[in-house]
């Protein structure tokens, strides 16, 4: 399916919804508007949730990669290189 057909289908669907909205009474129009608003809000929340999950997974992967390079594993014990003690000064 080409992009032109998809855009044409979306425009046709929008026109049909707007025409139906004009043909129904005020009470039904109010309920239809509320239903469309709820649907839009749910879809937007779903899209944001997926985006946040993707971002969280990316950040977690970066943190794991950084942690792998900054320390040593002894079995299941991880010791960061920053915890190593500096060499003792033999002069004093």
Instruction: Dump pLDDT digits (tens) for 2-60.
Output: 999 999 999 999 999 899 999 998 999 999 899 999 999 999 999 999 999 999 999 99
pLDDT at 65: 86
Q: How many domains does the chain have?
A: 1
Residue 17 within any structural domain of the chain:
no
Where b means 16+ CB within 10 Å and e means fewer, 26-65 reads eeeeeeeeeeeeeeeeeeeeeeeeeeeeeeeeeeeeeeee
Owning domain of residue 60: 38-69
Residue 42 within any structural domain of the chain:
yes
Whether this model's pTM surpasses 0.75? no
Asked if 32 and 21 count as a contact pair (C-beta separation under 8 A), the reply is yes
Residue 78 within any structural domain of the chain:
no
């Amino acid at each position: 399916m080409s992009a032109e057909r998809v855009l044409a289908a979306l425009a046709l669907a929008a026109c049909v919804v707007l025409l139906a909205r004009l043909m129904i009474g005020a009470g039904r129009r109010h309920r239809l508007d509320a239903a469309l608003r709820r649907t839009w809000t749910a879809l937007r929340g779903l899209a944001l949730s997926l985006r946040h999950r993707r971002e969280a997974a990316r950040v977690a992967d970066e943190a794991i990669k950084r942690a792998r390079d900054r320390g040593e594993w002894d079995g299941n014990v991880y010791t960061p290189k920053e915890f190593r003690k500096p060499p003792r000064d033999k002069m004093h």
